[in-house]
Amino acid sequence: MRAFDYVRAGDTGEALRQGAGEETRFIAGGTNLLDLMKLEVMAPGKLVDITRLDLGRIGETDEGGLRIGALVTNSDLAADARVRRDWPVLSRALLAGASGQLRNKATTGGNLLQRTRCYYFYDRGEPCNKREPGSGCAAQGGMNRILAILGTSDHCIATHPSDMAVAMQALGARVEIEGQDGAREVELSEFYRLPGDTPHIETVLAPGELITAVILPPPAGGRQVYRKVRDRSSYAFALVSVAAVVTVEEGRIARAQLAFGGLGPMPWRDARVEQALIGETPTKALFDRAADILLADAKGHGGNDFKIPLARRTLAAVLTQATEAAA
Amino acid sequence: MQFQLDINGETHALDLDTRTTLLDALREHLGLTGSKKGCDHGQCGACTVMVNGRRINSCLTLACMHEGDEITTIEGLGTPDALSPLQRAFVEHDGYQCGYCTSGQICSATAMLAEIEAGWPSNVTGDLEARVEASIEEISERMSGNLCRCSCYPGIVDAIRQVTKEEAGA
């Protein structure tokens, strides 16, 4: 690990002042950042410890949603009685991720900002445009079993590894951000960037900006499902995951909010898939049409070709479960 | 950097490089070698300790970030003459072979039982709002962050189950 300066911030204002500078990173749970620093994939010159900031609470918003402080741990969020009752897809997604130890440390803001687990991003002996812009992408033509089939570019085929963010994407969450110029809110659907020719820039956060909270809209009701397919049944990243919030009224799908993990460089949501389902009677043929739309532009890279049919089957299984229970 | 750590009820003054993980501070600077370094990347759980009652991977956190926290290591759970219930149960059920993962397993299980007691659900919990039972399936899922290369999982699960039964009967 490279040497760094360490500063403990007492409040958000101090964190933002200390956090300015290209070489500076905020640290909270640190479970991904420190791992990457040990491998010198990331080598910040200064860490600003934000764990003492007052961002560890879950509050209710005026519109009936939740405001989840950026420092709320994955464990506390998954166990929150309101989340379990009214946003169960989020509890399910959190509990499907990582281990008990990691969930106790990992925070809401940090989970959104965790980096890909692409092997080549971690391996400093191999080219990686995300780690070292312009060096190339060894994953294309390499081991790409866990990598993306949607939203990729010639420069990068990495996936975003979060489960939590997939559920938040399905729920239509917003991200609250503070910078030295003030606060702003961004839809989670607008928060991540496609890799294009700048895969090292992953979100719309400007240097020195801090995530302060995630806002959940009021409960959507309906049937909520999170299904994760992985190589072992616990403590593994998703090959494919689907978060679904579905309502059936009088035999027809009235609401369908779907997000996908393991498929793209961001928690993937495609409004065209949802539009194709709304107003229709749930049938296997309909679910297949939805998968056709989702996967129209899917591109396998050899080792991950299997994800295309796997995504189709996982979507069908989730929609079957979500519509059967409500029928 | 100068800072203090509260470990097993004792305060220690330290002057360490900011890069020092909590695990390295315990093992290399405080002589508390019960916590083990396996993978050093948060994947194996051998370094598990409790911070303010919660289990974490001590290899994935900086020592200097824990000023003011209450840290409990395996050395703080019991002694050879006064084993904790889980330590005794691991001996009785042969919950190890080489023993390298054992202190992490026991710290993890100690905090895991408190999580069940607090009603936290897991990935295998059927009803998110129902009371959780410490079944074999629940214990296995909740202990998935602790690997045992000797594969003594049956003994580990039996040991943990024995403690939950003792507590239920108490």
Q: Are A291 and A311 in contact (CB under 8 A)?
A: yes
CA nearest B64 in A: which residue?
Answer: A6
User: Chain A neighbours among B 95-114 (CB < 8 Å)?
Assistant: 108, 111-112
Question: Which residues of chain A, if any, have pLDDT below 70?
Answer: 325-327
Question: ipTM of this model?
Answer: 0.97
Instruction: Please give, rounded to a whole number of angstroms, the shortest distance from the CA of A112 to a CA of chain B.
Output: 18
Chain A residues with CB under 8 Å of B17 CB are 3
Is domain A5-49 annotated with CATH 3.90.550.10? Answer: no
Q: What is the pLDDT of residue B170?
A: 66
Are B45 and A102 a contacting pair at CB < 8 A? no
Per residue in B44-53, pLDDT (tens digit) is 999 999 999 9
Chain B residues with CB under 8 Å of A4 CB are 18-19
Residue with tokens 């905090």: B111
Phi-psi region of B97 (alpha: psi -120 to 50; beta: other; left: phi over 0): alpha
Q: What's the alpha-carbon Rg for chain B, to the nearest Å?
A: 16
Are B62 and A35 a contacting pair at CB < 8 A? no
Using the Cβ of B72 and the Cβ atoms of chain A, whether some distance falls under 8 Å is answered with no
Q: What's the alpha-carbon Rg for chain A, to the nearest Å?
A: 20
Could you tell me where in chain A the CATH 3.30.465.10 domains are found?
58-113+160-216
Per residue in B7-25, pLDDT (tens digit) is 999 999 999 999 999 999 9
Kind and range of the H or E run holding A276: helix A271-277
The chain-wide mean pLDDT, for chain B, equals 97
Using the Cβ of B149 and the Cβ atoms of chain A, whether some distance falls under 8 Å is answered with no
Distance of CA A155 to the CA centre of its chain: 21
Using the Cβ of B54 and the Cβ atoms of chain A, whether some distance falls under 8 Å is answered with yes
Q: What is the pLDDT of residue B169?
A: 81
Are A84 and B121 a contacting pair at CB < 8 A? yes
| A179 three-class SS | strand
Of B62, B108, B128, the CB nearest to A88: B128
For range B66-78, the mean pLDDT = 98
Best residue in B65, B116, B148 for a mutation probing chain A (most A CBs within 10 Å):
B65
Chain A residues with CB under 8 Å of B153 CB are none
Using the Cβ of B140 and the Cβ atoms of chain A, whether some distance falls under 8 Å is answered with yes
Could you tell me where in chain A the CATH 3.30.390.50 domains are found?
224-323
Chain A residues with CB under 8 Å of B57 CB are 31, 101-102, 105
| CATH number, domain A224-323, options 2.60.40.10, 3.40.718.10, 2.40.30.70, 3.30.390.50 | 3.30.390.50
Q: What is the pLDDT of residue A325?
A: 57
Q: How far apart are CA B41 and CA B27, in angstroms?
A: 16
**Domain at A58-113+160-216: CATH architecture:** 2-Layer Sandwich (3.30)
For range B118-123, the mean pLDDT = 98
Could you tell me where in chain A the CATH 3.30.43.10 domains are found?
5-49
Q: Are A9 and A18 in contact (CB under 8 A)?
A: yes
Chain A with chain B: Cβ pairs closer than 8 A: 100
Are A27 and B65 a contacting pair at CB < 8 A? yes
**In chain B, what are the domains?**
2-77 (3.10.20.30), 85-169 (1.10.150.120)
Q: Largest Cα–Cα distance of chain A, in whole Å?
A: 63
Going by C-alpha positions, the residue among A175, A207, A198, A225 that lies closest to residue A326 is: A225
Q: How far apart are CA A215 and CA A61, in angstroms?
A: 8
Of A1, A4, A101, the CB nearest to B55: A101
Q: Are A242 and A255 in contact (CB under 8 A)?
A: no
Instruction: Please give, rounded to a whole number of angstroms, the shortest distance from the CA of B134 to a CA of chain A.
Output: 15
Q: Which phi and psi angles does A78 have, rounded to 5°? A: -65, -30
Are A30 and B19 a contacting pair at CB < 8 A? no
Cβ neighbours of A100 (radius 10 Å): 27
Residue with tokens 């739309």: A293
Are A105 and B17 a contacting pair at CB < 8 A? no
Chain B residues with CB under 8 Å of A1 CB are 19
Instruction: Please give, rounded to a whole number of angstroms, the shortest distance from the CA of A299 to a CA of chain B.
Output: 31
Instruction: Please give, rounded to a whole number of angstroms, the shortest distance from the CA of B11 to a CA of chain A.
Output: 20
Residue with tokens 């039972």: B133
Residues of A near B (Cβ–Cβ under 8 Å) read 1, 3-6, 8, 27, 30-31, 34-35, 38, 47, 49, 51, 75, 78-79, 81, 84-85, 88, 91-92, 95-96, 98-102, 104-105, 234-235
Q: How far apart are CA B98 and CA A79, in angstroms?
A: 35
Are A30 and B62 a contacting pair at CB < 8 A? yes
Token pair in block for residue A184: 């702003």
Are A75 and B48 a contacting pair at CB < 8 A? no
Token pair in block for residue A283: 């049938």
Token pair in block for residue A204: 């719309």
Chain A residues with CB under 8 Å of B21 CB are 34
Q: How far apart are CA B78 and CA B106, in angstroms?
A: 11
